Every structure is written in structure tokens, then in C-alpha cells.
Amino acid sequence: MARHSGRGWYGKLVGAALGVTLLAAGASVWTAQAGAVGGSSPRATASATPSVKPVDVTIVHASDKGARGVNITIDDGPDPVWTPQMLDVLREYGVKATFCMVGTQAQAHPDLVKKVVAAGHRLCDHSVSHDTTMDTKSQAYQSQQILDAERMITEASGGVRPMYYRAPGGAFTPYSRKLAASRGMRPLGWNVDTKDFERPGADAIVATVERELPNGPTLLFHDAGGDRSQTVEALRRILPRLKEQGYSFGFPVR
């Protein structure tokens, strides 16, 4: 996976700490306070939350639809302008996607998180502030980024937890993968980087998908970080074209 760069705008979104509690390696895990949806801070407990089932720590790329499956993954939102448009396109073609959300964005737009869930899409933790240098930081910092985002997304969704963790720019570490997996979030990679964040034009985005899809089933798009009209248009072309070619749309395996 290629590392993304040049999208440091998320640093400006992170303000005061939101009741941050750090998790040391192998120590306690997060639980939300009972009935907490918005405002209350997390607390640590020495025992695992019963509803959380650990998953595989390896980075997943495969589709649950098998050899002719395709996973649509959409990063960095939700965004009030572009996420609704992408939801409309996905609904038009009957396609489900995985939305890798930044914690601050989810917290700012809980209505959109709920719409994503209500439409049958899956949630993915994409860290609090989209720091693509996370793999160079301490384990305590990685814990804060992953676990606070998990909490923000869960609260914004009304209680639906993210099923995957995608490191910003692919900045995974063995520690971050193990931590995410312990929280029931499968580390999620990608096979086809559409480079849509560079706004190369819808034609170029479509061409990248067609050229690189043989590399694997998981496609990377973005619904925030700037003008995503090209991504919307590219999806409008790609989805029916892939269906005509006999592909099915699914989710990354868990």
C-alpha cells in the first residue's frame, strides 16, 4: 500500500482533548459510560467489554463476495457536502460500502454517521486526527488516536461500533493492529488507490480502477478533504460498469 501524504488539514480540526484516556499495551480497554451518547468521556476498565469479540490482527484485503467481489471503501469523512452525494450514488446502484471515518468528523456530523449506518454500510475507525506519521509515535499516542476515534464514531452512530481500523496513510504498526483487533476492528488495507484525493479527473479515477483491479478487490476513495465531485462522478461510472462485468460488491472479510 502506498502511503498518502499532503492531507494535513485534519490537524486543524483537532481542538481540546475530549476526555482522553490513554491505554497502555496489554492493559485496560475502553468502555463507554452507560447511556453515553455524546458529551461524556470514556473510562477504562480492567476487564474486556463482553460485546467486543477480538478479530484477526492481519491486514485484510479480501472481499466476502469471493474472487469476483469488490469492496468499496470511502475515507476521511463524513462530510456534509460529499457524503450525502456518495450515499445517493451507492443507493442508486444498490451497493454497500465501508466508510472509514475520522473521529473529529464523525463527532461533528453525527447525523451523517447515522445515515451511513441506516443505509446498511459499515463503519471503520480512521483515527482521531488522520496523522499519517502515527507509526513513528508512542504506543500511548496510537492508543489515543485509535480508541478515542472508536468512541467518537460509536457515540455519533448511536451505538454502532466500527468493524474495521484503517491506519491513516497505511501507517500501521504491530501494536496498532493488535490493539484494533482486540477491540473487534479488523485492520483494513487497500489494493487500488484511486488517487482521487489529488483530483486527477473522473476519467483518470475510472482508468485507475480498471487498470489496477486485478491487484485486488479493495478500492480506496475519499468523501472529505476537499472537492470530491470527481469521485462522485467516477463512482457513478464505475459501479454499473463493474456490475456489467460480473463483479459483486461486498465488505472486507472479518
75 is catalytic: yes
Give dist(CA 100, CA 97) in Å, integer. 10
At 1 the pLDDT is 53
For residue 22, the number of C-alpha atoms closer than 13 Å in the C-beta half-sphere is 7
Residues sharing a CB contact under 8 Å with residue 244, sequence separation 6 or more, in sequence order: none
pLDDT confidence of residue 6: 37
Cell 457536502 appears where?
81
Closest CA relative to residue 240, chosen from 206, 194, 214, 215: 206
Kindly give the interhelix angle for 202-212 and 229-244, rounded to the nearest 10 degrees: 40
Domain residue spans of the chain: 69-250
What is the model's pLDDT at position 51? 72
What is residue 143's three-state secondary structure? helix
What is the reported pTM? Answer: 0.82
Alpha-carbon gap, residue 84 to 90, rounded angstroms: 10
Task: For Cα atoms 139, 140, 141, give the angle at the middle one, nearest 5 degrees.
Answer: 90
Q: What is the residue-level pLDDT of the chain in tens, covering all 254 positions? A: 545 543 443 333 333 333 333 333 333 333 332 222 233 333 333 333 447 899 999 999 999 999 999 999 999 999 999 999 999 999 999 999 999 999 999 999 999 999 999 999 999 999 999 999 999 999 999 999 999 999 999 999 999 999 999 999 999 999 999 999 999 999 999 999 999 999 999 999 999 999 999 999 999 999 999 999 999 999 999 999 999 999 999 999 99
Specify the fold of 69-250: TIM Barrel (3.20.20)
The catalytic residue among 75, 76, 79, 131 is: 75
176, 110, 112, 173 alpha-carbon torsion, rounded to 10°: -10
Q: Determine contact, residues 196/4, Cβ cutoff 8 Å.
A: no
Does residue 193 have an active-site annotation?
Answer: no
- Selecting among 109, 126, 130, 222, the annotated active-site residue is 222
